[in-house]
A and B are shown apart, each in its own frame.
Chain A
Amino acid sequence: MRDTLSNRAIAAALAASIALPAMIAPALAEDFKGKTLVVGVWGGDIERLLRQNVVGPLEAETGAKVELVLGGTGDRLARIYAEKANPTMDIAFLNIYEAPQALKDGVVEAPDPKSPLYTEIWDGMNNGCYAMSLVGLGIAYNKKLVSSPPEWADMWKPEYKGKIAVAAYPGSEGDGLLGVAARLAGKDEHDADAAFAKVGELKPIALTYTNLDEAFAMMDAGEVAMAPMISGYVLAALKTHPDIGFSFPKSPGPVLVRDMLCLVKNSPNPELAKKFAELALGVKNQTDYAEQLYFGPTNKNVKLPESVSADVIDTPEEVKGLLQMDWPYVITQRSDWTQRWNKEVLGQ
């Protein structure tokens, strides 16, 4: 009897000794060991900040691995659509115009209005997915060729003919330019004929750029005077390009562009994905985004120093001054507009 008791006691003690550390240490560490969270995101500075503020802490806390799949949004949008029945990606960072479409097609989770992720973000921003950062389409310009910060209409002045660069289409820069051009013609993006006619007046396009370095090199060489560009990276890059400036035009205002964080529907690691999202949308990461990349925060709790705040879209009031396009409509036009852009802007 005593033997059995002591055996039992030993067994209990053994069980406790195994279970206790697991209970004391974060229970999660055991749950997520061996799991890999797959995140589709842009490379460069964004990757650097995410590794530092999100991937590192998340891996330390959970024991899981985080794999960042770098590239443009088209790559990951294609991937989550192709894998709809059997997703392997957990989080995809998308553009504002892609997120609502992805939600409509059921490839991403709808933002949960009750989650802290949702409530910490400004009202009206979580459109399709969770809003990650705010930037505006403005004009990068060569200060030697353009004397003062230009307005949109200045791009159409005869002295700059053949010296305007545009980003590769489809993309938010091109769509934003179409929206602006349509408004300059007294219409809006719903009138594609007006938009394309106006953008077509910019021909010949000096350069279709796929990366900023390419565009800045041409701008520094004086072969490009102006290019519609999205604030953020551009502002961060200006430090090394003293002859290039960036203008937030007034009429119409800069086009609001939002990066969205999307939780892929039926993804393999939904809990890990939520933890990633909390860190990514959290105050620390969004503050670094603003201070280092000039990406405006969407988290209500982020407080920025005055000097940073000036270059960053960081208040709901500021957002009101921006040009908000009908992105869900724009994406339904993507196929047609791509073809029209090829034909009418690039002259193919």
Chain B
Amino acid sequence: MNGPSSKAVLFLLPAVALSTVVFLLPFGWLVYASFKVQGQGSLLMADGLSVANYMRLVTDSYFAAALWRTVWLSAVSTLLCLVIGLPVARLIATGSGRAKGLLLALMLVPLVCGALLPSLGMIHLLGSLGVVNGTLKMLGLIGGSIKLLGTTGGVILGMVQAFLPLMVLPLVNTLSRLPRDVEAAAASLGASPIRVWRRVILPLAMPGIVAGAVLVFCAGFTAFVTPQVLGQGKIATFGTVAYQQAALVLDWPFASTLAVVVLVAIGLTLILSAQFDRLTKRRRALA
């Protein structure tokens, strides 16, 4: 018993060492910095510790609004990813041969090319002088441009586009492990396709759904490039506000505070999802 576990620890060492150096230490510094403030009329950190940044965060409604906006933008994106992702994941999971490979490859493209490139591409699609507005104008459907960039709709579109693979991949994983005869059995007992989905496929796919939802939600919560580029500075999320504070205002202590809040929120999301996972497992064990 002792043998394998100490060996496992040995195998974990490089990863632990790496994450200590590149993640835990900077994170510790971040937490420390969040309790500093800038000196009067200076951009440098003053001596001493204080909770002034946290007070500002709590007392200024602007940040609460940004936090709330970030939460609901991520939640809506997660929901949309789920609705769009489920059929796609099912197609990939049940498909075969070239079509399946192609679909999977297409799904992976946004993951491979990162957030910036697709976002810049979408500017040309959604811009006032972009493809969408241009087409609508050519067809005589609109006179002036409709605003797509710099709106929450545009940001959500960008986030769904960027994070869809994070939903689809875990779903494919769980859906492809579902025994097909379970569905056949349900159908042969008279369940309609909708009922099969609702009572059989969805409950069994729950682990995948939770995993995908957590991934998309966390990605949305920390997203910076997509809201920054597609929001055109008009949609303040926690990511863009933290960027503004760190890179433009140069108030690093306050930016650190924002980052700490984001990390805590993500930690909470993970704990919640683990709890949820345990609950559903227990329920299934009981059933």
* Complex alpha-carbon distance, A170 and B233, angstroms: 11
* Complex alpha-carbon distance, A264 and B66, angstroms: 36
Given contacts A105-B43, A208-B234, A339-B62, contact A221 B250 (CB under 8 A): no
The number of residues on chain A lying at the interface, defined by a beta carbon within 8 Å of a beta carbon of chain B, is: 29
Q: Main secondary structure on chain B at its contact with chain A? A: loop
Q: Which of A78, A104, A335, A347 contacts B247 (CB 8 A)?
A: A78
Residues A101 and B43 in contact, CB atoms below 8 Å apart = yes
Query: Which chain A residues border B128 with CB–CB below 8 Å?
Result: 207, 218, 221, 223
* Complex alpha-carbon distance, A207 and B147, angstroms: 10
Give B185-238 interface residues, CB cut-off 8 Å to A.
232-236
Q: Which of A210, A338, A347 contacts B249 (CB 8 A)?
A: A338
Given contacts A75-B247, A208-B233, A348-B234, contact A223 B144 (CB under 8 A): yes
Q: Is A290 an interface residue (CB 8 A)?
A: no
Q: Is B44 an interface residue (CB 8 A)?
A: yes
Residues B249 and A208 in contact, CB atoms below 8 Å apart = no
Q: Is A303 an interface residue (CB 8 A)?
A: no
Q: Which of A78, A207, A334 contacts B246 (CB 8 A)?
A: A78
Q: Which of B129, B246, B249 contacts A221 (CB 8 A)?
A: B129
Q: Is B42 an interface residue (CB 8 A)?
A: yes
Q: Is A343 an interface residue (CB 8 A)?
A: yes
Residues B42 and A105 in contact, CB atoms below 8 Å apart = yes
Residues B249 and A335 in contact, CB atoms below 8 Å apart = yes
Give A321-342 interface residues, CB cut-off 8 Å to B.
332, 334-335, 338-339, 342
Residues B145 and A78 in contact, CB atoms below 8 Å apart = no
Residues B129 and A218 in contact, CB atoms below 8 Å apart = yes
* Complex alpha-carbon distance, A170 and B44, angstroms: 19
Q: Which residue of A lies closest to B244 (CB)?
A: A338
Query: Which chain B residues border A104 with CB–CB below 8 Å?
Result: 41-42
Q: Is B287 an interface residue (CB 8 A)?
A: no
* Complex alpha-carbon distance, A273 and B227, angstroms: 39
Q: Is B150 an interface residue (CB 8 A)?
A: yes
* Complex alpha-carbon distance, A342 and B150, angstroms: 13
- Residues of chain A touching chain B, judged by Cβ–Cβ distance below 8 Å, are 74-75, 77-78, 81, 84, 101, 104-105, 168-170, 207-208, 210, 217-218, 221, 223, 332, 334-335, 338-339, 342-343, 346-348
